[in-house]
Chains A and B, each alone.
Chain A
């Protein structure tokens, strides 16, 4: 089971996207868990679950450097969701992007 966790300010709009991604994952029988959280909980969540992929909503892209600085050493991909995909709440494309990044980082 891979964990793909999304973070934004209150974890609200990302939770909408997360539920769409989860649905796509289930339709394709992918062993992936997608969840969304507010950025203020990031520390606890990452310490507890060590997600395999960390995604940031485009509205908190300014957190990117801080997140990489703090959790980059864990070796899991961290990236900001494409804003067009975010706007259209395209779960499939974001999920593909996440899997692609995980594959790339695991191949290393």
Chain B
């Protein structure tokens, strides 16, 4: 059965990772992650989860101290479409094999071309309308448009480059001068296209490309992300890929991560506007309440291995992988226990994250687990800290502990069976060695 499943899954992983558009979007958003995490730290300080915090700091630094921090938060969270379009453009140019930073800048420019620059709602005394870009178009609601723009503009740019639609200068002009003109015609092609796109959308009922993509594409997709099954499907698929030894999130994130990102950002914007946050399935929820210790939620398993394992193999591996597991890294046990294609471990490995997701979803909907506050932390943040920081409540840390205990209870019987099997094997087999073990480094001198 596993062989058959692998036959279907491997080509999917292969196709998704080879797809240049999806890789560019995934890698592009990865570039923006550190920026958003630093912004999150500023967001955390200005909304630190301690009652009376704001007044306490105000008594030292004076009222309005948050404004300075918000300048940083805002420049990361509120312009994600802008940083996104630049970095996706850069990554797509890399995939296409053309000048990377030129591609990124062309994408950024094209995005700005189709972004509305006036706000008729804001008119000053002289009757002049506000002129400039508004956060509303550069942040969350522009995210899907930023992906489309980056891919489309760089495609045009790369196409023109490949067609050699560049300015030819007479011999004798230094090559460096030639290079500086190389991007000119391709950039012009991309920009003129978006010049036309802007004219078309401005004259439709939508008024702008932003409104069109938001209503036609982003809102329905993000709507899917609000359905109860969304996170369960994501966790199930990610773990299923891991079971076959394929980095699951690396595959599934190509599709799910933009939706997670938008859901997270919407909570941030709701909190900022002072309205209730409604999105359960944020990146933080996915990282910190569905999975502990890497794919398959194996932190509990590793603890059991290290402290209850009887066979040498399990005990040693458990102790070796515990430090990494605390930070969410578990490849040593995925390949070492192994979990990959191990029928005994398939059931707990695939269903523990699903069960975590279901219990956390229920706990959130009945109000035990607070909703995550738009803060984004590295997925390596350890259990307990992560729960507290993303919700601002210790209840979340306690909830994480309860889930960890549940995970351990589920893994325990399966691990015991494996442990017994390994003990028997260890009793029989003497040390086996192969060619690599027989080789000494003296035989391997490189000239």
User: Which residues of A approach B to under 8 Å, CB–CB?
Assistant: 2, 8-9, 12-13, 16, 28, 30-31, 40, 43, 57-63, 65-66, 83-84, 86-89, 93, 96-97, 99-100, 102-103, 106
Contact = CB atoms under 8 A, between A and B. Distances in A.
Given A16-B332, A62-B17, 17 more contacts: A58-B245, A58-B331, A58-B335, A59-B242, A59-B250, A62-B10, A65-B14, A66-B17, A83-B245, A83-B335, A83-B338, A84-B335, A84-B336, A88-B320, A93-B436, A96-B441, A100-B436
13 contacts: A8-B331, A13-B329, A16-B332, A40-B27, A43-B94, A58-B335, A59-B335, A65-B14, A83-B245, A87-B332, A97-B436, A102-B446, A106-B446
Most chain B CB inside 10 Å of its own CB: which residue of A28, A57, A66, A86: A86
Interface of B: 10, 13-14, 17-18, 27, 30, 91, 94, 242, 245-247, 249-250, 317, 320, 324, 329-338, 340, 380, 436-437, 439, 441, 444, 446-447
A11 to B, nearest CB: 11
Nearest to A86: B335
B331 A100 contact: no
Listed from nearest, the 3 A-B pairs whose CB atoms lie closest are: A87-B336, A87-B335, A13-B331
Contacts of B334: 59, 87
Contact of B439 (A30, A57, A87, A96): A96
A59 B336 contact: no
Contacts of A93: 436-437
Main secondary structure of the interface of B (DSSP, over half): helix
B245 A9 contact: no
Contacts, number: 96
Contacts of B91: 40
A45 B447 CA distance: 24
B446 A88 contact: no
Contacts of B320: 88-89
A52 B49 CA distance: 50
B87 to A, nearest CB: 11
Main secondary structure of the interface of A (DSSP, over half): helix
A100 B434 CA distance: 14
Contacts of A83: 245, 335, 338, 340
Most chain A CB inside 10 Å of its own CB: which residue of B27, B242, B446: B446
A87 B444 contact: no
A18 to B, nearest CB: 13
Contacts of B335: 58-59, 83-84, 86-87
Contact of B332 (A66, A89, A97): A89
B324 A103 contact: no
A86 B336 contact: yes
Contact of A103 (B27, B336, B340, B444): B444
Nearest to A95: B441
Nearest to A98: B444
A61 B9 CA distance: 13
Contacts of B94: 43
Nearest to A32: B446
B10 A13 contact: no
A86 B330 CA distance: 11
Contacts of A60: 246-247, 250
Given A13-B324, A103-B446, A62 B13 contact: yes
